[in-house]
Structure 1
């Protein structure tokens, strides 16, 4: 769809309508997420379609996609290469699953320490502090998931 003359705006107006700061637009341009329009006179004019593109970026970020992943999705935004879109999304889901596992392990460890602290009473030092002062826990190497 071609934009008409009234559909163009300054960077300040675009930022306001899209609900972001001018700095955010400049940052997105630097990351290759938004095009940098040619100057028309003394300033640049942005098409109204950039409002939707910024909305796309913000929604993707709210789902946990990194800006690099958002860039990949924007490169595929016509929706025709479903396999590539699915690959980016599957990778993100795997990262989320891994983080959830880490959070569940942390939650379990903190619950156990809290329970021990509550059960030991005032006569003994709280095991939470002892656990934090002791040597760091041994971490297993990251596992890669193949699909």
Structure 2
């Protein structure tokens, strides 16, 4: 990744802050190959220098976080990042459609759970006699 001198640069802590994650998360993404690890600058040997991250790194980290929010796994995100470089829109479309199917299934599952809990809450609130329907519904006996 080429960085121009005019580009904003930051430390790993700044990168993490910009991406809304912790420093260890950034390091984990680096170990997974999702983020690059720049060379240390301004020092000599292992003890010297600080790694500097640029705006491209910030954008990439934000992409990773946004893709995770959409439900993509880190393996899928890695594939999406590789597809971006190759401009393989067909495969990116397939991955997105697979996520949509999975999200639709999760939405249906959550909607059913919501409807059940709403019925139990209504039953619980409609009477004060006997055991609470919410408690009995979750009783493991």
1:57 to 48, 56, 64: 64
2:125 to 118, 122, 126: 118
| Superposed CA offset, 1:80-116 (max 9, x none) | 2111101211121111111111111111211222233
- CA 1:102 to 1:19, structure 2 compared with 1: closer, same or farther past 3 Å? closer
Q: Give the aligned CA root-mean-square deviation in angstroms.
A: 2.6
Cα pair 2:19 2:65 within 8 Å, conserved: no
Count of residue pairs the alignment pairs up: 134
TM-score by length of 2: 0.75
Match of residue 130 from structure 1: 136
SS at match of 1:76: helix
| Superposed CA offset, 1:107-136 (max 9, x none) | 1211222233334x223222222211146x
Structure 2 stretches lacking a partner, 5+ long: none
Alpha-carbon shift at residue 13 of structure 1 (Å): 4.1
Distance 2:122 2:103 in 1: 28
